[in-house]
Structure 1
Amino acid sequence: MKTFKLYILLTVLITGQLCFSQSMKKADLLYENRAYVEAAEIYAQLPKNNLVLEKLGDCYYYNSEYEKAYEAYSQIKDLSIESDLNETFYIKFVDVLKGLKKYEEADNVSAIKLNDPFNTENFKSLLKRIIPYEYELKSLTDKIGGSSFGIGLYKDKVVFASTLNIKNPNYNWNGKPYLDLYEAKITVGDSISIDSIKPFNKKINTKNQHESNAVFTKDGKTMYFSRNLKRRIDLDSTKISVVSIFKAELIDNKWTNVEPVSFSSDTYSTMHPALNSDETKLYFSSDMPNSIGSFDIFYVDILEDNTFGEPINLGKSINSVRREQFPYMGKDSTLYFASNGKRGFGGLDLFSSSKKNGKFLDALNLGESINSEKDDFAFIVVDSLETGYVSSNRSGTDHIYTFDRISTDRVYYIEGLVTDKVTGELLPNTTVTLFDEEGNIISETFTGEDARYKLETQPNRSYSLEGFQPKYIPEIEFFDTNDSGNIEFNIELEIESYKDAEEIVTDDEYGNTFIELENIYFDFAKWDIKPQAARTLDVLVALLIKYPRMEIQLGAHTDSRAGFEFNMDLSQKRARATLEYLVENGISRERLTSKGYGETKPLVPCGDNCTETEFSINRRCEFLILK
């Protein structure tokens, strides 16, 4: 009897194990082929271990069901301590936490598990000071049913993608009907609404494929849109549905020549087309080989014969190691796009980037007034630049929103410290001057006792900054302000004194700074510059040319062998003669002063009992640096 019971138990266990194995295999196959809704139904019924829980969470994660994803991920054992969970898991887990506005927990996981410290609250505070606009959003499609996103402007209508056609088959990824394009009218009255909705065109919409993200030329005769290919490719043992940009032409009021663009492929995706204002470039998102991340933003030139140039990647100022999608180019040449790889609030966030000298600057998050904890994407503005459309799944379903945007006041700063380059000592009372790109003075300040400075700047400008201290070589730094989120640029100015830079410059015991040159000799009672003196003064000319901000005093001294008045007059004439020699050799008079001291400041105070050597020492020219 006991043997029979043991046999029954073993049979149940083996049968259960076989059922588990078969169900797991089926769920894994659905998962690998991105049939996440069906896969989740099976995983939810299986006994829970780390592998099942992670894949169950993934199924919810990829369909933005963050509450369910969090519940599954949170049950994984050893989640809070060192474990064999990989980086990819923690990236997804941080996304889920942000999608639930659990920002503090997301920041902690990011810092500890991903070695990527970030403070969301500080980021929010920063953006409030620097974003160029605040946005007021109103839902446009919440009452029409289905999921809708990605408006394109077409004549007096709009064209958008939607799952409204319930006759379409359901897409395995999310269990919703395939997307079609729809056209509609926007009515503006007491409130804005979308009316007269109808399928766009049978030549464009298909039954078993997605169509989305249509963009039209201004004459309405050419359109570009995204469509997934019917045939799926086998990539790393996984069936992948490739999306391509298609082009269509309106001929005799019929859309025809519907073909994929030349730079598309059946082995990688191209999607989300966008035209620049003069329709010479087509921007798009792609995972083509050599992309920086999973999807990057590219552009191609549209050539005169309507063919396309080679795809150009917009680079790391725009693209990250993750997804950049849904580009839109404003008529002011501002690029807008969605990313989940840059600093944000969860899911896809919207960013903008201005262009300078032919290159896009670091992208700026558009802020909390338009970005939510979920996916926010497909941003466009209308001609006024103050209104537009954006798509978001913040409500749990993709919807289109209208927005009004209001300009904000922004002030950027450049600040820092001024120190001695050699000694590191603080340099109070340094003049710090800000210049624009053309070298015009914008503003000026003096450092305080703490040797710090702070000056206002504007975003997206080029500047130079000069630190100037008497008896120091001015230091100039060049910098740009951009919309990357930096509004407080810190530049430490290290300036070098003339005495540290030049061997012939020295300080005396009283802190006066002199240029030490060979003595200049004059004939008795004369003040004309002799050839030997000229050679000495040429060294001074070279030094003054090297340092155009240097200002000096030319001081002439005599011995005491003549009368006081005579010596004073003679020394003044010699000092002026020296000054005139420098002016004749190209040195600005404004940088020079001259002074005759006569016999009042002898180096050797020997009175009338001086030797010839002592007299010659007292009879001299000195070059005192004033600035």
Structure 2
Amino acid sequence: MMRKLYILFVFCSVTTLFAQKKASVKDGNALFQTRSYVKAAAIYEQLPATKEILQNLGDCYYYNFQMSNAVKAYTQLFTTFKDSVQKEVYFRFANAMKGTKNLEKGDSIMKIYLGYEQNTQKFMKSASRNSKDSYKLEMMSKGQNNGDFGISFYGDKVAFSSARNGQGKSYGWNDKPYLDLFSATVNEQGQLVNVETFPDEINSKNHESSATFTADGKTMYFNRTADKQIKVGEEVVANIKIFKAELKGGKWSNVTMVPFSSDTYSVEHPCLSKDGKQLFFASDMPGTYGSFDIYVVDINEDGTYSLPRNLGDKINTPHREQFPFVTSDGTLYFASDGHQGGGNLDVFSSKKISDTEYDKPVNLGSTINGEMDDFNYILDEAKNQGYFASNREGDDHLYTFVKEPNKLQYLVEGEVRDKKTMELLPGSTVKLYDQNGTLLEEVLVGKDGDFTFNTEPNKKYKIMAFKDFYIPAESEFETSQSGKVYLDLQMKVESYYDAEDIINKKEDGTVLIELENIYFDLDKWDIKPQAATVLDVLVGLLKKYPYMEIQIGSHTDSRATASYNLKLSNKRAASALEYLVKNGIDRKRLSSVGYGETKPLVVCPKNDCTEEEHAINRRCTFMILK
């Protein structure tokens, strides 16, 4: 589609001269400047990999949405010449990466371009969840690669652009036949049937595309490339114009160019408002925010037009906004690669606020938008279905869609983070409970630190996040009657060692509750008053944190035999455990182990410890397990 009708269709008069002599940079650049990207790429592939050649080669593939080849060229460019690459190339490189489904790498490159981080996967999940609709898709011309796009409603038929005639000359952009306009009916299976070409009054030797019709079908606006090429900067192009035609006596006639078309810039993708009083289109005319913007003109009763009005910076960005479509309530649908999306062109919608203002555009989500170009969205509001175009299969294809209620709206999503550092905590467990406290579902958080649950409308829920050595966090919420719930829950869990001074994390990763030592009489394991006082502190801590689990360890000095000391330490550890149970602590949260003399804090030469050193080795430890 010539890069989504950047379309700037090119009339390339390149002969076989270049094939008859050794490839040169001059030859490649001459082709590149006329946007003969296929032939230019073939020459660049034969030449030494300079900065200019690698950038142009990457662009040749990028503009023909051959993203794997584009990534290869751009990667070599950035590896060798990163410090001197133009900023705009970062944008194309990032989208080429996304086009190959390498979203993480694409985001890292886009961060350099934008100056701030993007998380495409997370954004598209959010966009999909928040969209009130999801889309069921069906390709309309299976098994064919005709470059179909530019679909519009044409009475009880559709009109669309295609290279399916396959005759005559091809254009240099992608070496495919020139585009013509066709009409067709759509059968119950969503397939294009009874395909017919528009007459020669409409289809010429040039490109025709993107038709739009008045409600009575008697007036038609469409795109046609200019008859002559002009030099714009370093490029030689034939720009795109909008033409108007009238149906009289069953024939299209009075084909005239609209006055706001020009040889020096393109106006493309015309779309009439439902009442026929406004014509929306895309253009790169002077005054855009960059590349192509969406414009509108008023159609006066006498057939004249107002001056084009740019729809403003809520709609338009420094990149491409194209393929406008307007519903009866004024909602604008359009394609953009400037607003955040899945990569390359995505379809967005924007509510009309006033005659001159639109709301912030909303991405339609991943059931219709993918990593490649998705565009040319049109909607039959009465049937809740429509059509759009995409090159997700490698070439432009038309798709029919049916809008369905978005079940993803019943999702709740969030992240688990450390309360102090705000770092994500992969490996956390998150549980969903109903209002009666019944566990409904639990998930183990992955490397992205996020979680998702299905919920139902008009119900109350509680979510709890668990992580070893952390205090569980919880959040309660209620879904609406419609079921929509957007909860960006940041479950901030605090570590025990951040919350309590007596809890410390050791270098080896163990987390200990540091209490006064518990002393036992010689050869005894019963809990004395001093030991009970210490254990009462532990009881209070365990009641404060009801999900904490600990291990009680008992150690002896090295006097007596090893087997005797092991048995004695096991009895002392078990005795401490029983004290905790008698004071209300669930046995399931406790374990005990005797280490005997195997883990002394003080190792004495020749096992000749002082009384003070023996006392240090006789101790109880309290290690947090969860």
Class of the TM-score when normalised by the shorter of the 2 chains: 0.5 to 0.7
Cα-to-partner distance string for 1:46-80 (whole Å, 9 max, x where unaligned)? 1223322221111111100001111112222635x
SS of residue in 2 equivalent to 1:213: strand
Q: Is 1:343 matched up with 2:327?
A: no
1:137 aligned onto 2:137: yes
One-letter amino acid of the structure 2 residue matched with residue 399 of structure 1: H
2:89 is aligned to 89
- Work out whether residues 90 and 114 of structure 1, in 8 Å CA contact, stay in contact via their aligned partners in 2: no
Q: What is the CA distance between 1:136 and its match in structure 2?
A: 0.9
What per-residue deviation string (whole Å, max 9, x for no partner) do you get for residues 147-200 of structure 1? 111111112221110001111310111100000001111111xx2221111211
Instruction: Note the C-alpha offset of 1:122.
Output: 2.0
Equivalent residue, structure 1, for 2:66? 65
Gaps of 5+ in 2: 1-20, 413-474, 490-626
- 1:274 maps to 271
Paired residue for 1:186? 186
Paired residue type of 1:53: L
Distance 1:120 1:156 in 2: 39
In structure 1, the residue matched to 2:325 is 328
In the alignment, structure 1 residue 264 sits paired with structure 2 residue 261: yes
Q: CA deviation at 1:113?
A: 4.8
Secondary structure, aligned partner of 2:53 = helix
Corresponding residue for residue 392 of structure 1: 390
Tell me the residue number matched to 2:508: none
SS of 2:129 mapped into structure 1: helix
Cα distance in 2, alignment partners of residues 142 and 175 from structure 1: 22
1:362 equivalent to 2:348? Answer no
Residue deviations 1:532-570 (CA, integer Å, cap 9, x gap): xxxxxxxxxxxxxxxxxxxxxxxxxxxxxxxxxxxxxxx
CA distance in 1, matches of 2:64, 2:481: 41
Residues 286 and 298 of structure 1 are in contact (CA less than 8 Å); yes or no, is this contact kept in structure 2?
yes
**CA deviation profile, 1:212-236 (whole Å, cap 9, x unmatched):** 0111111110000011101011112
What secondary structure does 1:60 align onto?
helix
| Equivalent residues of 2:71, 2:97 under 8 A apart | yes
1:44 aligns with 2:41: no
Of 290, 293, 296, which aligns to 2:293? Answer: 296
Q: Is the 8 A contact 1:103 1:120 kept in 2?
A: yes
- Contact 2:293-2:317 at 8 Å conserved across structures: yes
Please list the CA deviations of residues 343-395 of structure 1 after superposition, one character each: whole Å capped at 9, or x if unmatched.
01111110000112432101001111001111111100114251000000100
2:311 corresponds to which of 311, 314, 321: 314
- What pairs up with 1:610-621 in 2 under 5 angstroms? none
Partner in structure 2 of residue 10 of structure 1 = none
Aligned to 2:200: 202
- Say if 1:160 and 1:213, in contact at 8 Å, map to a contact too: yes
Deviation at 1:302, TM superposition (A): 0.9
SS at match of 2:343: coil
Matched, 1:247 2:244: yes
Amino acid across the alignment from 1:388: G
2:61 maps to a residue whose letter is Y
Letter matched to residue 226 of structure 1:
N
2:386 is matched by which residue type in structure 1?
G
Alpha-carbon distance, 1:488 to partner: 7.6
Residue in structure 2 matched with residue 564 of structure 1 by the alignment: none
2:298 alignment partner AA? D
Tell me the CA shift for residue 125 of structure 1: 2.6
What secondary structure does 1:245 align onto?
strand
| 1:4-58 deviation line (CA, Å, top 9, x unaligned) | xxxxxxxxxxxxxxx87x6110101111111101101111111223322221111
SS in 1 for 2:77: coil
Note the C-alpha offset of 1:407: 2.6
User: Matched residues in 2 for 1:138 and 1:168: separation?
Assistant: 31
Q: Is the 8 Å Cα contact of residues 412 and 458 (structure 1) preserved in structure 2?
A: no
Q: Does the 8 A contact of 1:154 with 1:220 survive in 2?
A: yes
Separation in 2, partners of 1:385, 1:123 = 29
- Distance, in Å, in 2 between the alignment partners of 1:175 and 1:326 is 23
For residues 224 and 458 of structure 1, do their structure 2 counterparts lie closer, same or farther at Cα, with a shift above 3 Å needed? farther
Q: Specify whether residues 308 and 453 from structure 1 end up closer, same or farther in structure 2 by C-alpha distance, changes over 3 A only.
A: farther
For 1:339 and 1:405, the matched residues in 2 are separated by: 21
Conserved 8 A contact 1:245-1:270 = yes
User: Shift in Å at residue 333 of structure 1?
Assistant: 1.8
Please, which runs of 5 or more residues in structure 1 have no aligned partner?
1-18, 414-451, 460-485, 490-627
* 1:301–1:309 Cα contact (<8 Å) kept: yes
Deviations along 1:101-138, one digit per CA (max 9) or x if unpaired, are 11111111122354131111221232133112101110
Are the counterparts in 1 of residues 145 and 397 from structure 2 also a CA contact under 8 Å? Answer: no
SS of the aligned residue for 1:161 comes to strand
Cα distance, 1:268 vs. partner? Answer: 1.2
Judge which range, 277-286 or 377-386, deviates more. Answer: 377-386
Tell me the residue number matched to 1:162: 162
Letter matched to residue 378 of structure 2: I
RMSD over aligned CA atoms reads 2.8
* Contact residue 349 and residue 362 of structure 2 kept, 8 A: yes
Is the contact between residue 134 and residue 408 of structure 1 (CA under 8 Å) also seen in structure 2?
Answer: yes
Q: CA deviation at 1:262?
A: 1.6
Question: Matched residues in 1 for 2:73 and 2:171: separation?
Answer: 24
Residue 231 of structure 2: which of 227, 234, 241 is its match? 234
Equivalent residue letter for 1:365:
N
Deviation of 1:144 (Å)? 4.2
TM-score, normalised to structure 1's length? 0.61
Check 1:114–1:229 CA distance in 2 against 1; reply closer, same or farther (3 A cut).
same
Partner of 2:98: 98
TM-score by length of 2: 0.61
CA contact (8 A) 2:284 2:290 kept: yes
Q: Which amino acid aligns with 1:93?
A: F
Pick closer, same or farther for the CA change 1:35–1:253 going to 2, 3 Å: same
Counterpart for residue 444 of structure 1: none
Identical counterparts, % of pairs: 42
d(CA) in 1 for partners of 2:46, 2:125: 44
AA aligned opposite 2:337: N
Correspondence 1:383-462 to 2 at 5 A: 383-408=381-406
- Stretch deviating more after TM superposition (41-50 or 240-249): 41-50
**Which moved further from structure 2: 260-269 or 292-301?**
260-269
- 1:304 maps to a residue whose letter is E
Structure 1: how far apart are the matches of 2:307 and 2:479? Answer: 42
**1:411 and 1:458 in contact (8 A); partners too:** no
SS of the equivalent of 1:355 reads: coil
Q: Which residue of 1 aligns with 2:571?
A: none
1:497-532 Cα shifts (integer Å, max 9, x gaps): xxxxxxxxxxxxxxxxxxxxxxxxxxxxxxxxxxxx
Aligned residues: 406
Q: Give the distance between the partners of 1:68 and 1:233, measured in 2 at CA.
A: 30
One-letter amino acid matched to 2:295: F
Alignment partners' CA distance in 2, 1:305 and 1:166: 40
Give the equivalent residue in structure 2 for 1:510.
none
Which residue of the partner structure matches residue 74 of structure 1? 75
Q: Distance in 1 between matches of 2:480 and 2:259?
A: 45
Indicate if the aligned counterparts of 2:107 and 2:117 stay in contact, CA closer than 8 A.
yes
Q: SS at the partner of 2:342?
A: coil
TM-superposed CA distance for 1:313, in Å, is 0.7
Distance in structure 1 (CA, Å) of the matches to 2:111 and 2:297: 38
Tell me, what secondary structure is at the counterpart of 2:324? strand
Q: How does 1:555-574 map to 2 (within 5 A)?
A: none
Amino acid of the structure 2 residue aligned with 1:296: D
Q: Deviation per CA, 1:440-470, whole angstroms, max 9, x where unpaired? A: xxxxxxxxxxxx99999999xxxxxxxxxxx
Residues 582-623 of structure 1 deviation map (CA, whole Å, 9 limit, x = unaligned)? xxxxxxxxxxxxxxxxxxxxxxxxxxxxxxxxxxxxxxxxxx
Distance 1:34 1:487, change over 3 A: farther
**Are the aligned partners of 2:125 and 2:365 in contact in 1 as well (CA < 8 Å)?**
no
Alpha-carbon distance in structure 1 between the residues aligned to 2:78 and 2:190? 50
